[in-house]
Amino acid sequence: MQLLALALYHRDGRPTPRVLRFRPGALNILTGESETGKSEILDIVDYCLGRSTPNLPDEPIDRTVGWYALLVAFRDSRMVLARPRPAGASTTHAMIRTGDETLDLPRADELTPNSNVAALRSQLSARLGIEDFRFQPPPGAARAAFDVSIGQAALLCFQNQNEIADKKALFHRQTENGIAQALKDTLPYLLGAAGPEQALRRYHLNEAQRAQRAAQRKLDDAHRHAAAVDASGLALLRLAQSEGILEEVPAAPAPEETRALLEQALTVTVSTIGPVDLRDRRQALNDERRDLREQLQQLDEALALVERWQKQGQAFTGELHLQLGRLKSLDLLGPERDHDSTVCPMCTRPLDEPDASAAEINRLTEQLSAELDQAQTIQPIRDEHRRSLQTEREAVVERLRVNGAQLRELAASDERMRNLQEQHVRIARVQGRIDQALTAGTGSSVGDIGRLRNDLVLAQENVATLQALIDEDDVTAETERRLTDIAANMTTWAKRLNLGQAASADEVAISLSQLNVVVRRPLGRLPLNRIGSAKNWIGYHLVAHLALHTYFRLHNRPVPNFLMLDQPTQAFFPAKIKDATTVQDADWATVTAYFELLRDVADLNEGALQIIVCDHANLTEQPWFQEAIVEDWRPVDGHRKALIPTDWVD
Q: Which amino acid is at 617?
A: A
Label residue 464 by pLDDT band (50, 70, 90).
Answer: confident
Label residue 273 by pLDDT band (50, 70, 90).
Answer: very low
Please tell me what DSSP assigns to residue 575.
S
Cis peptide before 350 (omega within 30 of 0): no
Q: For 261-269, which contacts have Cβ atoms below 8 Å and span 24 or more sequence positions? A: 261/237, 262/233, 262/236, 262/237, 262/434, 262/437, 262/438, 263/438, 265/236, 265/237, 265/240, 265/430, 265/431, 265/434, 266/431, 266/434, 266/435, 266/438, 268/427, 268/431
- pTM value? 0.65
pLDDT exceeds cutoff 80 at 274: no
Instruction: Compute CA distances 427 → 263, 267, 270, 422, 436, whole Å.
Output: 14, 12, 8, 9, 14
Task: Let me know: does 215 contact 455? Beta carbons within 8 Å.
Answer: yes
Task: Let me know: does 421 contact 195? Beta carbons within 8 Å.
Answer: no
The stretch 418-429 carries a mean pLDDT of 73
Express the helix, strand and coil content of the chain in percent, nearest 5 each. Answer: 55, 15, 30
The pLDDT assigned to 329 comes to: 58
The pLDDT assigned to 91 comes to: 78
The pLDDT assigned to 452 comes to: 87
CA angle 305, 309, 312 (to 5 degrees): 135
For residue range 281-334, list pLDDT tens digits in order: 778 888 888 888 888 888 888 888 877 877 766 666 666 666 666 666 555 555
Label residue 550 by pLDDT band (50, 70, 90).
Answer: very high
Mean pLDDT of the chain: 83
Classify burial at 634, counting beta carbons within 10 Å of its beta carbon; exposed 0-12, middle 13-18, buried 19 or more.
Answer: middle
The pLDDT assigned to 542 comes to: 97
For residue range 93-126, list pLDDT tens digits in order: 999 999 999 999 999 999 999 999 999 999 999 9
The pLDDT assigned to 443 comes to: 44
Q: How many whole angstroms from its chain centre is CA 262?
A: 40
The correct answer on CATH 3.40.640.10 for the domain covering 2-200+476-649 is no
The pLDDT assigned to 276 comes to: 46
Instruction: Compute CA distances 79 → 110, 114, 135, 272, whole Å.
Output: 15, 14, 27, 91
The pLDDT assigned to 176 comes to: 93
Label residue 63 by pLDDT band (50, 70, 90).
Answer: confident
Return the bridge partners of 79, or none. 72, 98
At residue 567, φ and ψ (nearest 5 deg) are 60, 55
What count of residues does the chain have?
A: 650
